[in-house]
Chains A and B, each alone.
Chain A
Amino acid sequence: MLKILKYSFYDLIRSRWSYVYFLFYLILGFVLLFLNNDVSKAVITLMNIIIILVPLIGTIFGVMYYYNSKEFIELLLAQPIKRSSIFLGQYLGVAGSLTLSLVLGLGIPFVLYGLFKSDAIFDFTLLLVTGAFLTMIFTALSFNIALSNENKIKGFGYAVLLWLFLAVIYDGLFLMSLIIFKEYPLDSFSLAATMFNPIDLSRTLILLKLDISALLGYTGAVFKQFFGTNQGLIISMLMLVLWTVVPIWRLVYKSKKKDF
């Protein structure tokens, strides 16, 4: 598996898109720091961008890479290599290089600015960790979609729809259900609903750590009580791990049964 990982990683590192992605974060980081002149504020702005952009890039990159490497996969399948190694290696290559672009692209400007001396270091680390998780999750989901759809256009469409659903539509539905059922106690419902969407989960996690839960208003207090504690943090992290592991497991399971 490590060899496949090595090859797909090199392949991506050599491609222009990894650099574009890396440079984008690098410039974003510098610009935000110079405009805000404050690490904590920059973290908040960054969060708003990361929460939407990272899943989108993960999704599109994942689908594109899978379809583009179809030939490579077919070549590998005839070699004495385990199937799960081929797919896991490819997946980790994509997710790994995307995560690296994110972490380095944002890390460098913040470190240069003096992150280690600021007290925002924990918030910033949390931001990068959730960013990495979102990359892993959405790349895995998009690999799943691509694996189940031979038709590229369809696969691409489903992947973008999935992103749109989790990033935008889900929130709308969530909000509407809160309004419709406002007569009822909604604490556990809203907690659960947040858990079932990795984007919402990441956003809530960061917002509450940033101590601006007042912005959340309505359910803010409940959320603060849950996510603000260490137990809440651990449970949310576990949820993110679950969101990563389940699609990867399905990827391995499905790839074993697929005909090429």
Chain B
Amino acid sequence: MIQVENLHKKFGKNEVLKGVDLNIDDGGIFAVLGPNGSGKTTLIKSILGMVVSNKGSIAVSGRSIKKNWRYRKDINYLPQIANFPGNLKVRELIRMIKDLRQMPSEEEKLIELFQLEPFLGKKLSTLSGGTKQKVNLVLAFMFDCPLLILDEPTTGLDPASLIRLKELIQKEKANGKTILITSHIMQFVAEVADEIIYLLEGKIYFKGGIEQLKTKTSQTDLEHAIAAIATTPADA
């Protein structure tokens, strides 16, 4: 699904990605983890073409993303911070994105699922953080695309919505989609992820299943395994 080769990215003097090589197969849930500032969002934004890399190449569904924008038709993206134009109403925003993408969508089901009906006529600037995140989720899940990229999907969600989100993710996985998630909530990652991609200082430090990670770090739960991974030598 995604091939990343020798990806470098600098912001000024700050070298964020230092040669990332990554191969993500079709289908399954991949969790991109790493400490703050390890380059998770930069990697995701590079795949989306929002960040222009200094060196290296990225291909999505076998097509290079350079000077290409059509490949984004295959991607649904959930941004980390739900920044929406504040003067639009929720309904207008959903209609606008539908109009821009011109794809069949199933927003009604999602609006019902996240109980957003009372907010449809409200302006986005008046919504609470959690409600904004729900709108964000509706926008990210309403189209049927083979690749889903979710940057911190759990931010601000109440427990009931979190359960619905997990169900939604599992349903999409069952449909054979590839899902890329970043999160700092290890419990959530442990529940949904099939594979862990651990970024440290701009490089892929570990890629593999959760069990593999636990044995490698000789820890019994994921949270401690992740905390311990940076101190474990790479070849251990």
Contacts and interface: CB of A to CB of B under 8 A. Distances in A.
Interface residues of B, number: 26
B66 to A, nearest CB: 11
Interface string A1-37: 0010001000100110000000000000000000000
A119 interface: no
Interface string B47-76: 011111000000000000000011111010
B72 to A, nearest CB: 4
A3 B77 CA distance: 20
A78 interface: yes
A259 to B, nearest CB: 4
Contact of B101 (A79, A82, A257, A258): A79
A8 to B, nearest CB: 10
B150 to A, nearest CB: 12
A259 B87 contact: no
- Among A11, A70, A82, A259, which residue has the most Cβ atoms of chain B within 10 A? A259
Contacts of A256: 52
> What's the interface size class on A, roughly?
20 to 34
B50 A11 contact: no
A79 B72 contact: yes
23 contacts: A3-B100, A11-B85, A11-B87, A71-B84, A71-B85, A75-B79, A75-B85, A78-B48, A78-B50, A78-B77, A79-B101, A80-B69, A80-B101, A81-B69, A81-B72, A81-B100, A257-B52, A258-B52, A259-B45, A259-B50, A259-B52, A260-B45, A260-B50
Given A71-B83, A78-B72, 14 more contacts: A7-B96, A11-B85, A11-B88, A69-B85, A75-B79, A78-B50, A78-B75, A80-B70, A80-B71, A81-B100, A83-B69, A259-B45, A259-B52, A260-B50
